[in-house]
Amino acid sequence: MSVNAEKPRSNHSGTQSLFKNPILEALSRTHIAVPISIYLISSAGLGWYAFTHTALQKGMIGGLLVSGLIVFTLVEYATHRGIFHMEPTTTLKSRLQYIFHGIHHDFPKDQTRLAMPPALAILIGLALFSITFMGLGEAAYAFFPGFLSGYAGYLFVHFIVHAYKPPRNVFKWLWINHAIHHYKNDTLNYGVSSPLWDYIFKTYSSKG
């Protein structure tokens, strides 16, 4: 892997190549509409299958959808805190952390890197669905749409936080919440789509 290992100074409005290989570099970027569309279409398809091709009752499907959404918020929090902000104790960890998330903190307004590249996201999504199916059986067709919808919602919130000024609506609170993480204290406010788990694990702050 030809990684551009030189870490730049923070540049809130700029961008930088992550890979020396032009193909890998192109694959590391995406327009936000691409992954959101993929997740919402996949969610709709799986939800349709749950209603039409499984023995699950409507109430059970609804409960599984909500459960998938809640579980996503926990996975979002745990991934952001435990993987994206892991301690770079080795050269390998340092490079991986920068590829996964460090470059985003250096260039938070780079709109081409506000989501995981679709190719990688699809592979990870298929792996997660396979694991979910092994654990839940056909219930996975109702649970996973909730999980994917949560991911699409997270991407939407993450995009508007970095691409626009504070909105004059309910999203302003989430905008401020994530801005504190980026610009005041990156050991706080790991939740982007929801501060729920920050409250539970006491990593929430309204001031930084």
Q: Which residues contact 186 (CB under 8 A, 6 or more apart)?
A: 85, 105
| CB contact at 8 A, 140 and 133 | yes
The reported pLDDT for the residue numbered 13 is 60
pLDDT surpassing 50 at residue 74: yes
Of 64 and 4, more confident: 64
In the chain, where the domains are located: 22-152
The reported pLDDT for the residue numbered 5 is 41
Q: What is the pLDDT of residues 92-141, one digit of tens each?
A: 888 888 888 888 998 888 989 888 888 888 999 999 999 999 999 999 99
Residue whose tokens read 């401020």: 176
> Encoding tokens for residue 104?
């985003």
Q: What are phi and psi of 19, to 5 degrees?
A: -120, 145
Q: What is the pLDDT of residues 12-55, one digit of tens each?
A: 567 888 888 888 888 889 999 999 999 999 999 999 999 999 99
Choose among 193, 185, 197: nearest CA to 206: 185
40 residue type, one letter: L
166 residue type, one letter: P
| CB contact at 8 A, 72 and 150 | yes
pTM for the predicted model, two decimal places: 0.88
The reported pLDDT for the residue numbered 132 is 96
Cα 174 to Cα 165: distance, rounded to the nearest angstrom: 12
**Average pLDDT score, the chain:** 89
pLDDT surpassing 50 at residue 165: yes
Mean pLDDT of 48-74: 97
Q: Which residues contact 77 (CB under 8 A, 6 or more apart)?
A: 190, 191, 196, 197, 198, 201
